[in-house]
Chains A and B, each alone.
Chain A
Amino acid sequence: MKYKQTAVLALNCGSSSLKYRLVLMPDNQELISGEVERVGIKTQKKALIRHKLFGKTRSIKREIADHGQAFDHVVKLIKQDALINKKIRIDMLAHRYVHPGNLISDTAKITPRLINKLSKTLEFAPIHNPVIFRMITQCIGNYPRIPQYVVFDTSFHKTIPASLATYGLPRDLTRKYHLKKMGFHGISHKYVMHKACEFLKVKENTRKIISCHLGTGGASVCAIDKGKSINNSMGFTPLEGLIMNTRCGDVDLGLVFYVMFKENYSAQIIDKTLNKKSGLFGLFGSSSDLRDIIEKVAKEPRAKVAFNMYIKRIKKYIGFYSLLLKKADVLIFTDSIGVDSLLVREKVVQGFEFFGMRMDKDKNDSYSCGIKDISGKNSQTKILVIPTNEELMIAREAYKEFSHDIGSRRKGK
């Protein structure tokens, strides 16, 4: 059952950013979108708000101390826009939540009971969860009458089968602490899967898809079989998997223990080293931005090694998922690096004829925006570039649950 037209404000808190989008549901009509950058980080530059109303962008610089202040600024701008356009209002708030552990698996309406549950999950994703949790409680305080929903990054991966989600740990330990592969970037992987099938005019439940969400911060690869996630390179936490800007990804735990024993380091120190000082930053040394590394690949050996390792890790996961899916029908590149870096796409697909993947170099080189098929003539696998839109997906998922709640209530009456 569908409710009347609902304006959903989707909020996507990053560690130092706030992305937002006001979407009119169920038409999926985007009214406002924007991003607040450099929130609460030590920098000489002011925070930057890019606010887009019906395609027109305004850039505003402000001192913004935290995500709460960022949200207040966003609401002010939306209220100003509402004065000139009647369509603009906020009927519902939808939040992205990174890691709810095993406590919650599906999109849910925010209630005191849910808040209590969420408060127990902050440690699962220490960079993201506390920030989002504070945002949710602030919104409840400021807008108690607006319904709020929370959409989880892990929900899409709840279909990962036990044989792929279970770690080789003692059963008692995994049960007691709910240790299993959770997977992340589910909102994005699900969105690009929908988009790919829509673009190719095929049904989701017939396709085998490998989706590469390559962001400037986090990155993950997902294996999707007939519309369901069957594996994700990230694990119980976002630390496992690909090489990221400052995260190491897959690493030998024996090495971690060795350094901890040797130096008597605490978990905090090593955790920080692997999460914040490793990955591309650790390998290259002076920047964690892949674009800086690409610029110096020809001149600096460390840049070359960092770039090659980054590419190789993605290739390895595609190799794994090709075997798991028994060859993929579609390979997707998304998020900032996946969409903006033609070199990354080229290097990742290079030499993958064995898996049935051939790229058309001209099509790849000439990509500018939107969805594009960059596969070569004889490619058995469709290779697509699809910009992600997590906020739209958050709005959709929240609205779906909202409609369901309204429907249930009416039936109850």
Chain B
Amino acid sequence: MILVVDVKANKIKLSLISPGNEKSEIALDLDECMGRGVLKKTVYGLAKRKKIRAIAFRTVFGGKTFSGPVKVNARFFDKFMNLTRAFPFYVPRMKMLIEEFYNSFTKIPLFVFFETAFFSKLPVEEKYYAISFELSKYYNLSRHGFHGLYHGFNAELAGRNDKVVSIVFDKQTTVAALNKGRPYSISLGYTPLEGIMSNTSCGDLDPGIVFYLMKSHGMSIYSIDDTLKNESGFKGVTGYDLDKTKLMSLYGLDKKVDLAFEIYKNQIIKYMGEAVAVLKGLDKIIISGEETKALMPFILKLLKDISFLGVNLKCLPFADFDQSMELTSDNSDIAVKINNKPLSEIIVLHTRKLLK
């Protein structure tokens, strides 16, 4: 059995996965279990019943330091803490959590997987922003990307020479260009604010707007930061405090919701177009992420919009969604595939490889 520890914004998800990929999951409130022994007790309880061979952590940020998964040892923590400057709230909490496991389960190997590691191989002109090199260097400002575990797995699924646009529909939506197992572009940059809008964050925005609001209307940087991160995106455009999977039920019925999904679609198309331009062609589109199933009507609309590229969709309804499946017919120039493998199973696959 392998235990996958996935830390979300307020929750921590523990997934215990057997060699036959049978899964049992427990979700805990992050604030309640940090440093109070709750986690330890829960995992001890799990370990009593079934033998845990390894514990794998999913971490959102590895900076330049971690370009692949690592086995936790005493030196890991200092290296990890060096990332605090970039993520001052996240890194220390994550370190505390991993440390708790490291001290409690001394005989079980621990591995840490980073969502940014896959993008350490981005080409140099993709990594940097068009600001002064000195500034980039001084503050370590470069594109880190996100959803590296999904995109990396999608790169493995494709043929070596396939030019792939990989899309992850999750709380955050990202689009990556992949070829020969490597990333060539990614929509999300130095922070999750760049790229495609999410439930509450705005996605790409003219920086001139920020200066305009500050200089001409006296808004503070803190209030703008809060607005762009927590009051924008689907919430801001629709006025409904619902996530996009729930808003799907109003799609086609409410003008504000329709506008939000149109903006969202155009942002995805922007990054798909960019990816095709960077790859100089397209063979496959691979879609993954936790929200894929819920957003399926929207995804089909998106694919119809780009059908002129040679995307020939199969007739609806599609077969059992729990499996990975092809959405396109055999005569389609561009294959569209849904990779429905959950993140925890992707992490388990990598962990098994590392254990070997």
Contact = CB atoms under 8 A, between A and B. Distances in A.
A167 B308 CA distance: 27
Contact of A323 (B209, B236, B262, B306): B306
A233 to B, nearest CB: 10
B76 interface: no
B227 A170 contact: yes
A319 interface: yes
Contacts of A169: 202, 205, 209, 227-228, 232, 236-237
B211 interface: yes
Interface in A269-320: 270-271, 273-274, 277-283, 285, 302, 305, 308-309, 312-313, 315-320
A373 interface: no
A111 to B, nearest CB: 25
Contacts of A352: 277, 280
Given A320-B274, A354-B282, A251 B207 contact: yes
Interface string B262-273: 111111011111
Interface centre among B133, B185, B197, B235 (most CB of A within 10 A): B133
A316 B135 contact: no
A345 to B, nearest CB: 15
Contacts of A249: 130
A122 to B, nearest CB: 10
A309 B214 CA distance: 30
Interface string B258-300: 0110111111011111111110111000000000000000000
Contacts of A279: 130
A61 to B, nearest CB: 34
B259 A167 contact: no
Contacts of A317: 274
Interface string B208-240: 111111111100010001011001111111010
Given A169-B205, A252-B194, A322 B232 contact: no
B63 interface: no
A354 B276 contact: yes
Nearest to B85: A262
Contact of B269 (A181, A248, A309, A323): A323
A237 interface: yes
Given A235-B206, A237-B206, A312-B125, A273 B139 contact: no
A353 B163 CA distance: 14
B66 to A, nearest CB: 20
A301 B221 CA distance: 36
A257 B277 contact: no
B132 A277 contact: yes
A258 B225 CA distance: 10
Nearest to B258: A163
Contacts of B207: 239-240, 248, 251, 253, 256, 274
Given A166-B263, A254-B192, A320 B221 contact: no
B128 A309 contact: yes
Contacts of B133: 282-283, 285, 302
B193 A254 contact: yes
A173 interface: yes
Interface residues of B, number: 77
Given A169-B232, A254-B194, A259-B135, A239 B208 contact: yes
B202 A237 contact: no
Interface string B107-130: 000000000000000001110111
A49 B267 CA distance: 45
> Interface SS of chain A: helix, strand, loop or mixed?
helix
B29 interface: no
Nearest to B189: A252
A239 B282 CA distance: 31
Contacts of B239: 171
A166 B236 contact: no
Interface string B148-169: 0000000000000000000000
B80 interface: no
A309 B191 contact: no
B26 interface: no
A7 to B, nearest CB: 37
A170 B232 contact: yes
Contact of A167 (B202, B265, B277): B202
A237 to B, nearest CB: 3
A144 interface: no
B248 interface: no
B221 A248 contact: no
A282 B132 CA distance: 4
A162 interface: yes
Interface string B48-72: 0000000000000000000000000
A282 B131 contact: yes
A175 to B, nearest CB: 12
Contacts of A285: 132-134
A268 B215 contact: yes
A343 interface: no
A267 interface: yes
Contacts of B233: 168
Contacts of B208: 235-240, 271
Contacts of B183: none
A149 to B, nearest CB: 27
B203 interface: yes
A164 interface: yes
B254 interface: no
Nearest to A170: B236
A123 B131 CA distance: 23
A401 interface: no
Contacts of B102: none
Contact of B273 (A162, A236, A250, A322): A322
A271 B210 CA distance: 9
24 contacts: A167-B209, A168-B237, A171-B237, A173-B236, A177-B213, A235-B205, A235-B206, A236-B208, A240-B206, A252-B193, A257-B193, A259-B135, A262-B139, A267-B210, A267-B221, A271-B215, A309-B128, A312-B126, A316-B273, A319-B275, A320-B277, A324-B269, A354-B280, A354-B282
Given A261-B221, A282-B131, A308-B125, 17 more contacts: A166-B237, A167-B202, A168-B201, A177-B212, A235-B205, A235-B206, A236-B208, A237-B212, A257-B191, A258-B190, A258-B191, A312-B125, A316-B273, A323-B272, A323-B276, A327-B308, A351-B280
Interface of A: 123-124, 162-164, 166-171, 173, 177, 179, 181, 235-240, 243, 248-262, 267-268, 270-271, 273-274, 277-283, 285, 302, 305, 308-309, 312-313, 315-324, 326-327, 351-355
List the 7 closest pairs (A to B, CB-CB), nearest first.
A254-B191, A319-B277, A237-B208, A235-B206, A351-B280, A163-B262, A168-B197
